[in-house]
Protein backbone atom coordinates (compact mmCIF):
# COMPACT_ATOMS: atom_id res chain seq x y z
CA UNK A 1 0.00 0.00 0.00
CA UNK A 2 1.27 3.39 -0.95
CA UNK A 3 0.07 6.87 -0.10
CA UNK A 4 0.43 9.67 -2.63
CA UNK A 5 0.55 13.42 -2.08
CA UNK A 6 -0.30 15.93 -4.78
CA UNK A 7 0.73 19.54 -5.20
CA UNK A 8 -1.01 22.35 -7.04
CA UNK A 9 1.89 24.81 -7.25
CA UNK A 10 1.12 28.49 -7.66
CA UNK A 11 3.03 31.72 -7.13
CA UNK A 12 1.40 32.48 -3.78
CA UNK A 13 0.15 29.09 -2.61
CA UNK A 14 0.68 25.35 -2.89
CA UNK A 15 -2.46 23.23 -2.59
CA UNK A 16 -1.85 19.84 -0.98
CA UNK A 17 -3.92 16.65 -1.11
CA UNK A 18 -3.19 13.08 -0.03
CA UNK A 19 -4.59 9.70 -0.96
CA UNK A 20 -5.92 7.08 1.39
CA UNK A 21 -3.62 4.10 1.98
CA UNK A 22 -5.42 2.05 -0.66
CA UNK A 23 -4.78 4.73 -3.28
CA UNK A 24 -8.47 5.06 -4.11
CA UNK A 25 -9.48 8.54 -2.99
CA UNK A 26 -7.87 11.95 -2.60
CA UNK A 27 -8.55 14.33 0.28
CA UNK A 28 -7.49 17.95 0.60
CA UNK A 29 -4.99 18.59 3.37
CA UNK A 30 -3.97 22.23 3.38
CA UNK A 31 -2.91 25.23 1.38
CA UNK A 32 0.67 26.33 2.03
CA UNK A 33 0.97 30.11 1.88
CA UNK A 34 4.26 30.63 0.09
CA UNK A 35 6.88 32.77 1.77
CA UNK A 36 10.46 31.73 1.25
CA UNK A 37 11.32 28.65 -0.78
CA UNK A 38 13.15 27.04 2.15
CA UNK A 39 10.02 27.46 4.32
CA UNK A 40 7.86 25.93 1.57
CA UNK A 41 10.22 22.95 1.28
CA UNK A 42 10.35 22.52 5.06
CA UNK A 43 6.54 22.49 5.36
CA UNK A 44 6.28 20.05 2.48
CA UNK A 45 8.77 17.76 4.25
CA UNK A 46 6.73 17.95 7.46
CA UNK A 47 3.58 16.98 5.56
CA UNK A 48 5.33 14.09 3.78
CA UNK A 49 6.49 12.82 7.16
CA UNK A 50 3.07 13.29 8.76
CA UNK A 51 1.29 11.44 5.96
CA UNK A 52 4.11 8.91 5.54
CA UNK A 53 4.66 9.34 1.83
CA UNK A 54 7.59 9.71 -0.53
CA UNK A 55 5.45 9.78 -3.68
CA UNK A 56 4.54 13.23 -4.99
CA UNK A 57 2.22 13.98 -7.88
CA UNK A 58 2.79 17.51 -9.12
CA UNK A 59 0.24 19.23 -11.29
CA UNK A 60 1.79 20.33 -14.58
CA UNK A 61 -0.08 23.37 -15.95
CA UNK A 62 0.12 22.68 -19.68
CA UNK A 63 -1.39 25.01 -22.24
CA UNK A 64 -4.74 23.99 -23.71
CA UNK A 65 -2.97 22.75 -26.86
CA UNK A 66 -0.81 20.41 -24.74
CA UNK A 67 2.39 22.42 -25.01
CA UNK A 68 4.45 23.41 -21.98
CA UNK A 69 4.80 27.10 -21.22
CA UNK A 70 6.53 29.23 -18.59
CA UNK A 71 4.35 27.90 -15.75
CA UNK A 72 5.51 24.34 -16.47
CA UNK A 73 9.14 25.47 -16.21
CA UNK A 74 8.46 27.12 -12.84
CA UNK A 75 6.76 23.96 -11.52
CA UNK A 76 9.57 21.72 -12.79
CA UNK A 77 12.21 23.98 -11.19
CA UNK A 78 10.41 23.84 -7.84
CA UNK A 79 10.07 20.06 -8.04
CA UNK A 80 13.78 19.78 -8.88
CA UNK A 81 14.47 21.62 -5.61
CA UNK A 82 12.11 19.25 -3.80
CA UNK A 83 14.06 16.31 -5.25
CA UNK A 84 17.35 17.94 -4.27
CA UNK A 85 16.12 18.49 -0.69
CA UNK A 86 14.44 15.07 -0.38
CA UNK A 87 16.42 12.72 -2.68
CA UNK A 88 14.33 9.57 -2.00
CA UNK A 89 11.12 11.25 -3.12
CA UNK A 90 9.45 9.93 -6.26
CA UNK A 91 8.07 12.77 -8.41
CA UNK A 92 5.38 12.29 -11.04
CA UNK A 93 3.99 15.11 -13.17
CA UNK A 94 0.28 15.06 -14.00
CA UNK A 95 -1.46 17.20 -16.59
CA UNK A 96 -3.56 19.59 -14.54
CA UNK A 97 -5.39 21.39 -17.31
CA UNK A 98 -8.79 22.49 -16.06
CA UNK A 99 -8.26 21.18 -12.51
CA UNK A 100 -8.86 24.66 -11.06
CA UNK A 101 -11.92 25.08 -13.29
CA UNK A 102 -13.30 21.71 -12.11
CA UNK A 103 -12.54 22.58 -8.47
CA UNK A 104 -14.27 25.94 -8.81
CA UNK A 105 -17.32 24.34 -10.43
CA UNK A 106 -17.48 21.73 -7.68
CA UNK A 107 -17.34 24.38 -4.95
CA UNK A 108 -19.99 26.51 -6.67
CA UNK A 109 -22.27 23.47 -6.96
CA UNK A 110 -21.73 22.88 -3.23
CA UNK A 111 -22.86 26.50 -2.68
CA UNK A 112 -19.54 27.56 -1.11
CA UNK A 113 -19.26 31.34 -0.84
CA UNK A 114 -16.79 33.18 -3.05
CA UNK A 115 -14.73 34.18 0.01
CA UNK A 116 -14.45 30.57 1.22
CA UNK A 117 -13.74 29.30 -2.31
CA UNK A 118 -10.73 31.58 -2.52
CA UNK A 119 -9.31 29.98 0.65
CA UNK A 120 -9.70 26.36 -0.49
CA UNK A 121 -9.46 26.45 -4.29
CA UNK A 122 -5.79 25.38 -4.47
CA UNK A 123 -6.34 22.51 -2.05
CA UNK A 124 -9.36 21.39 -4.10
CA UNK A 125 -7.36 21.63 -7.34
CA UNK A 126 -4.76 19.34 -5.71
CA UNK A 127 -7.59 16.88 -4.95
CA UNK A 128 -8.66 16.88 -8.62
CA UNK A 129 -5.04 16.40 -9.75
CA UNK A 130 -4.50 13.48 -7.38
CA UNK A 131 -7.86 11.85 -8.07
CA UNK A 132 -7.14 11.96 -11.81
CA UNK A 133 -3.78 10.32 -11.23
CA UNK A 134 -5.21 7.65 -8.90
CA UNK A 135 -7.98 6.83 -11.38
CA UNK A 136 -5.36 6.40 -14.13
CA UNK A 137 -3.57 3.74 -12.05
CA UNK A 138 -6.62 1.49 -12.02
Q: Provide the number of structural domains found in the chain.
A: 1
Beta strands in the chain (DSSP E): 4-9, 13-19, 26-33, 55-60, 90-95
Flag whether the pTM goes above 0.75: yes
Strand, coil or helix: 3: coil
**CATH code of the domain covering residue 79:** 3.30.420.140
Q: What is the pLDDT of residues 20-77, one digit of tens each?
A: 999 999 999 999 999 999 999 999 999 999 999 999 999 998 777 878 888 899 999 9
> CA of 134: how far to CAs of 25, 74, 80, in Å?
7, 24, 23
Distance, CA of 59 to CA of 77 (rounded, Å): 13
> Could you tell me the residue range of the domain that residue 42 belongs to?
3-135
Amino acid sequence: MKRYMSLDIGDRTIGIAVSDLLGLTAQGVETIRRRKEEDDLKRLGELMEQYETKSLVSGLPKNMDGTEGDRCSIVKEFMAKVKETYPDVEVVFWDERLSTVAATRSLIEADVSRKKRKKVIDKMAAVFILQGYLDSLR
